[in-house]
Chains A and B, each alone.
Chain A
């Protein structure tokens, strides 16, 4: 059954307007085929309303926008409202969502530094709505009392550089293990490693990935592995 999509070019022609020119009308979605039939308009409207409420709470018009608190809260909201559906694997679905229902949210999140790439018209992974959903999707633990606990830790740079852009995070158990390692419960979830240290560890784990199928590790074994790798790295760097 169909779900709505917009291509990069369609979104770009709407979002990137020459100075002085009138903004064109919002592009009409095309339909791609797949998955069960859902009321995508209602779903998108619900997501937009929830995220706007969070934007009102975390992002005022005054001063520099700090998106970290907003993104930490927003990821859970969008994940709870988004159904499991093949559309989520289509970058053009996320462009449709960002452009047709969440334009104000993206603009407020990046007030002062707006860039059309946050709608996914450059790299698909830069779409803000997709990144918010993915953060919660990776962190989600159905067996935990607080299923979204891990999604609330880490700033935007941590998630972007060390989770979203890394192949090792395709193994979600490993990604959660890295989150547990860096934001340990026994240390009140304060970051364990400093920025340069976590960068070095991420680079090391990326290299290890070429010889290691992280998917076969349990989460507990993955935490052990990360701790031992950090132990070795810390020793060699003195």
Chain B
């Protein structure tokens, strides 16, 4: 008799089974993104351009009492708490702070504007708080032995809120709007090109969104941009979904890696939106608008 093995779920297994109790020691750590903002324990943040311009991150390190997790054979003198900031596109990472656990450790780690600038202004930056071995140790099965072997860590990722596979943004002057057959002071228009439900070529997008250059610059340079950007994004995506629905209303499932599937993941909450849910929403623009406003945090921008 043969047994067929099926993978049910992937799970990361770390080699340091002697220090397993320490793995959650930093789970309650958080990040505050803006001055006078709240600290969040979330690990991933999608931010608009407006947000990056007022970014003043502070990492709040919360470490469970070491007596509850300190592995046998290790002491506070052997471990250090390290905060690393990284931008993978620039291939640049910086140690923001490091403290041996046996010494007093700061609770709050502000990230200065100079460091943020070195890391591209905060776009697509990761901040990793890690409890690491500080010194070399003789190799022992199940225990860390090289400086930098981590026992616990938590990473906060700041991403630009763009949907590169969905639309491309271009600005238009008064004259350009007129030449395109629109009133001079049109705020924005969506030109859906097709292909949302299928595979995309690298570098293409399914729509071009034209926005008045004065409005674009106003949104970037003034406080009105904060509430307006997510509202605009909601309206743009609504236009694309409703303009495209004839292409996907009869599909049984998403084409893998299609822009439509990507959109369903980005608009989902704990789970991606199903195709059936998207079909229902496409037929109910008011409810679709509500879902978009919720997912894109419109109300937070207005508050």
Contacts and interface: CB of A to CB of B under 8 A. Distances in A.
A97 interface: no
Interface stretch (B63-71, B168-176, B257-265, B271-279): B168-176
A8 B203 contact: yes
Interface residues on A, range: 35 or more
Interface stretch (B86-94, B102-110, B179-187, B231-239): B86-94
Nearest to B15: A211
B91 A170 contact: yes
Interface string B36-71: 000000000000010011000000000000000000
A70 interface: no
B293 interface: no
A98 B243 CA distance: 34
Given A33-B49, A137-B91, A164-B91, A10 B168 contact: yes
B285 interface: no
B201 to A, nearest CB: 8
Interface stretch (A47-55, A105-113, A121-129, A184-192): A121-129
A86 B203 contact: no
B202 interface: yes
B270 interface: no
B245 interface: no
A68 interface: no
B289 interface: no
Interface stretch (B25-33, B144-152, B294-302): B144-152
A136 to B, nearest CB: 12
Nearest to B164: A8
Interface string B98-135: 10000000000000000001111101100010101000
Given A170-B92, A211-B150, A30 B168 contact: no
Given A34-B53, A88-B90, A213-B128, 11 more contacts: A7-B168, A7-B205, A8-B202, A89-B120, A122-B202, A138-B91, A211-B16, A213-B132, A214-B148, A216-B80, A216-B82
